Amino acid sequence: MIGDIIRQTERLTVRNWIEADRDLFHEINSDPEVMAYFPFRRNRAQADELFDRIRGTINETGLGFFALALRQNNQAIGFCGLAHTDLEPLLPKGSAEIGWRLARPFWGKGYVTEAASALLAYGFDQRGLEEIVSFAVSENSRSTAVMKRIGMRPDPARDFDHPRVPESHPHLRRHVLYAVTAAQWRQRSPI
C-alpha cells in the first residue's frame, strides 16, 4: 500500500508515504513553529523511526497519518489522517481521531480543511466509523478553527489533560476535544 492514493481533492492527493517524503517529514517534526504546541521536536533518527511506524500502520490497517501532497506534482507538504487513539480511559478503545501537520510554507491556503473534509467522508462512508474526534492544546486556535470549519463540534465534557505531555510543560497539557458523528456528518451543510 506504500504510495497508494487514499483520496484526491481538487488540489491535493492524500496517500501513503514514499521514501522521497522523508526530508519533509523530518522538517515538519523538527520545526519550532509547526511543533509549537508539542513538548518536543524530533531529530532525524526519531523522525525516521516515526515515519516508518506510521507507514507500517497504514499498510496494516488502512488508517494513519497519511502524506498530504500537491496534486499537480506529488510534492509532500505535510500530513492529514485518521488514526485509532491510544488514550484509554480518556477515549474508549477504537476511537478514531483526525489530525494534521503542515510545513509552514503551505499554511493559510486551506489545504488542511480541504484534506480533512475529504478524510471525514472517507472515515464515515468507506471505513464505517461512527464518530471521529480531534483534540489540540486549548490555545491552538489554528487547529480548532479547522475543526470548526470541517463541521466538528466542541465537547467540553471530554476535554482532558494529555497524559503524555510532561509536567515540565503545563501550558501544553490541557486539550480541548471536538467531535462529529456519522449522523451529524451526513446532515451537514456543504462547506
Burial class (CB in 10 A: 0-12, 13-18, 19+), 6: buried
The closest alpha carbon to 133, from 191, 185, 77, belongs to: 185
Residues 6+ apart with CB under 8 A from 82: 63, 64, 96, 97, 98, 119, 122, 123, 127, 129, 132
Structural domain spans, the chain = 5-186
Per-residue pLDDT of the chain (191 residues; tens, 9 = 90+): 555 899 999 999 999 999 999 999 999 999 999 999 999 999 999 999 999 999 999 999 999 999 999 999 999 999 999 999 989 999 999 899 999 999 999 999 999 999 999 999 999 999 999 999 999 999 999 999 999 999 999 999 999 999 999 999 999 999 999 999 999 999 975 54
Phi first, then psi, for residue 114 (nearest 5°) are -65, -50
CATH topology of domain 5-186: Aminopeptidase (3.40.630)
